[in-house]
């Protein structure tokens, strides 16, 4: 699957393509292609050239996708196990001391030169999120690279979601190497967690662990609400660092069942778990005039594309407005946005609007973002997605 010693099909781009591709972005859309020379199968490797004949790079093609080509390299090099091994070694080098941690992201798609592939490490196991046909067809050459560099006990593949269907693939989850538990134990910041292989994405979200650690310094003695909690990252950090009580809220019964197990593993008892839509739950609390000392908002992406920008704006404003009204004076609001569609400045503007309507003063205690293992590339704006703020909320 990984070899390309034979001459590859050529793809020639239109004369007036945007400089985005020439400046390092790996995506080539269907409307940027002038012509494809030679017969090929979707998922196969192609060489890409400018209209004038300049070599741009080598990647894989899928004509079923609007993003028709994803470039893997700017060199005419072979895409084989050695290539993938170099990518892994380079990514590990760029993670500095993080590689000593029990859990971290090994490969982050486009940001690590492997578009369509995400690899998370949980203790001795790797979980691969495969998003494209081109990556799926190369798993045979990718797997040895991961085994040689990381020596895992097991490797689990997850292929699900709308992107998989758009790629012409079927959703599936399976152990491609070895085997392991459905709930993989791992540790973050001295807290025991469980990655749920039947859960979302790779089973756990590692991108907020540094933000949760930062928030935990405000935990002591506080009554806390963790909305959109999933399996409990933020709330467990708060409990570990002396929170008086944490209420976990999520719409997924399974996620909260896992969160209960996580609480048991760590010996946390001063918490409760509520299966509910966070929007509805915040409204209900407002009606009951129940107040908290600290509220965490870590919602899923409200906007997958620019078409959803307006609804995302309304969603972020509503949950932040309601949370501000539910905080005691000088309470703490930790709030996030994980969509690239909303910029840092736009997100902060939303918070200002919410604060104006709630009649509060907002003091910024901390601005956070993505950890080193979720690298951000200025040339690829899609890699820059996570916004996180810790605010002190004072009522006027």
Q: How many residues does the chain have?
A: 396
Six-digit token pair at 104? Answer: 């971290």
* Cα–Cα distance list, 96 to 123, 150, 152, 207 (Å): 18, 15, 20, 16
* Cα–Cα distance list, 263 to 175, 209, 232, 236 (Å): 27, 17, 9, 7
Domain ranges in the chain are 9-73, 81-180, 190-395
At the fourth CATH level, the homologous superfamily of domain 9-73 is PUA domain (2.30.130.10)
Which position has the token pair 């907020």? 208
Residue 231 or residue 163, greater confidence: 231
pLDDT of 320 > 60? The answer is yes
Phi and psi for 191 in degrees, rounded to 5? -115, 135
pLDDT of 1 > 60? The answer is no
pLDDT tens-digit map of 233-271: 999 999 999 999 999 999 999 999 999 999 999 999 999
**Residues 216, 193: Cα–Cα separation, whole Å:** 16
pLDDT of 4 > 70? The answer is no
Grade residue 85 by pLDDT with cuts at 50, 70 and 90. very high
Grade residue 187 by pLDDT with cuts at 50, 70 and 90. very high
CATH number of the domain located at residue range(s) 81-180 in this protein:
3.30.750.80
- What is the share, in percent, of the chain residues with pLDDT greater than 90? 90
Catalytic residue among 224, 227, 271, 338: 338
Average pLDDT over residues 324-353: 96
Kindly state the DSSP code that residue 203 receives in the 8-state scheme.
S
What is the predicted pLDDT for the residue at 6? 54
pLDDT of 222 > 50? The answer is yes
What is the predicted pLDDT for the residue at 286? 85
Calculate the average pLDDT of the chain: 95
pLDDT of 307 > 80? The answer is no
**CB contact set of 222 (below 8 Å; sequence gap of 6+):** 238, 243, 244, 292, 293, 294, 332
**Residues 6, 14: Cα–Cα separation, whole Å:** 25
**CB contact set of 314 (below 8 Å; sequence gap of 6+):** none
pLDDT tens-digit map of 47-76: 999 999 999 999 999 999 999 999 999 999
Read off the pTM.
0.95
Average pLDDT over residues 75-102: 96
Identify whether 338 is a catalytic site residue: yes
Phi and psi for 79 in degrees, rounded to 5? -95, 85
Average pLDDT over residues 207-222: 98
CATH number of the domain located at residue range(s) 190-395 in this protein:
3.40.50.150
Q: Report the b/e string of 82-104 with b at 16+ CB within 10 A.
A: ebbbebbeebbeebeebeebbbb
Average pLDDT over residues 312-340: 96
Six-digit token pair at 235? Answer: 């709330």
What is the predicted pLDDT for the residue at 335? 98
Beta strands in the chain, from DSSP E residues, in sequence order: 9-13, 27-29, 33-37, 45-49, 55-61, 67-73, 103-108, 117-122, 125-130, 154-159, 172-178, 183-188, 191-196, 223-227, 245-250, 271-275, 292-297, 327-337, 360-368, 387-395
């Amino acid at each position: 699957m990984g070899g390309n010693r034979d001459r590859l099909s050529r793809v020639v781009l239109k004369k007036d393509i945007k400089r985005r591709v020439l400046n390092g972005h790996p995506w080539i859309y269907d409307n940027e292609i002038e012509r494809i020379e030679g017969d090929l199968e979707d998922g196969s490797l192609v060489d890409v050239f400018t209209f004038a004949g300049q070599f741009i790079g080598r990647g894989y093609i899928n004509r079923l996708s609007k993003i028709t080509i994803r470039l893997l390299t700017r060199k005419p090099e072979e895409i084989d196990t050695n290539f993938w091994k170099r990518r892994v070694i380079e990514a590990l080098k760029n993670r500095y001391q993080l590689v000593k941690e029990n859990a971290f992201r090994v490969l982050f798609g486009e940001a690590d030169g492997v578009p369509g592939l995400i690899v998370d490490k949980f203790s001795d196991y790797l979980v691969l999120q495969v998003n494209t046909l081109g990556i799926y067809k190369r798993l045979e050459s990718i797997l040895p690279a991961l085994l040689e560099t990381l020596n895992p006990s097991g490797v689990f593949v997850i292929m699900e979601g709308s992107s998989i269907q758009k790629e012409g693939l079927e959703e599936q989850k399976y152990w491609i190497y070895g085997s392991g538990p459905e709930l993989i134990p791992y540790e973050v910041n001295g807290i025991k967690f469980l990655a749920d292989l039947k859960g979302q994405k790779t089973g756990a979200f590692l991108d907020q662990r540094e933000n949760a650690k930062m928030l935990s310094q405000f935990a002591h003695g506080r009554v806390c609400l963790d909305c959109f909690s999933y399996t409990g990252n933020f709330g467990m950090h708060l409990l570990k660092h002396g929170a008086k009580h944490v209420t976990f809220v999520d719409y997924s019964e399974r996620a909260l069942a896992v969160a209960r197990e996580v609480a048991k593993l760590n010996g946390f008892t001063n918490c409760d778990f509520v299966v509910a839509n966070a929007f509805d739950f915040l409204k209900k609390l407002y009606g009951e005039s129940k107040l908290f000392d600290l509220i965490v908002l870590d919602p899923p992406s409200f906007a997958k594309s620019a078409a959803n920008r307006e609804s995302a704006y309304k969603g972020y404003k509503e949950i932040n407005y309601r949370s501000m009204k539910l905080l005691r004076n000088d309470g703490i609001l930790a709030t996030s946005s994980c969509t690239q569609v909303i910029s840092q400045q736009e997100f902060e503007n939303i918070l200002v609007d919410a604060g104006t309507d709630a009649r509060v003063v907002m003091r910024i205690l901390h601005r956070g973002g993505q950890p080193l293992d979720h690298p951000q590339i200025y040339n690829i704006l899609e890699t820059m997605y996570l916004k996180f703020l810790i605010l002190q909320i004072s009522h006027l």
